Amino acid sequence: MNYVPEKFKLSPALSDVVGLEVSTRPRVLEAIWHYVKTRNLQSSGDPSFFTCDPPLQKVFGDEKMKFVMVPQKLSQHLTPPQPIHLEHRIKLSGDVCIFGKYREASRD
C-alpha cells in the first residue's frame, strides 16, 4: 500500500516512548519533541541538546543527544508497515450481467 506521506511501523522501544505504532516520520519527530519538552529533558545550557531518560536511551543508545541527530538515529526504528489484507465474500442472487449477458447468479 502506498501512503502519502509515507507511513512506517515503529520499533517497540520507540512505540513505548511516543505512543504510536504506525505513523509518518514528521509525526514521530513531533512526538519525540513533545516527549522531550513535557519531561523537561532539553538542556538549559545548550537547547540544541537533550538528556535521554531510560526510555529514550533504549531508542537512541545515548545519555545526551543533539536534536539534529534524531532523524538519522530514527531511521533504524522505522520499517514499512504490514500490508493490509482484506478478505470479503459477496453472495449474489438474482440476475447478473456478466460480459453483456444476463445470467442467474449461483446460489451457494
Q: Where are the domains of the chain?
A: 7-79
pLDDT on residue 35: 98
Residue numbers in the chain where pLDDT is lower than 70? 1-3, 91-108
Domain 7-79 falls under CATH 1.10.245.10:
yes
pLDDT on residue 87: 80
Cα distance between residue 39 and residue 54, in whole Å: 12
Cα distance between residue 66 and residue 21, in whole Å: 24
Peptide bond between residue 71 and the one before it cis (omega within 30 degrees of 0): no
User: What's the mean pLDDT when you consider all of the chain?
Assistant: 87
pLDDT on residue 16: 97
C-alpha cell at 85: 489484507
pTM of this structure: 0.73
pLDDT on residue 82: 82
pLDDT on residue 105: 57
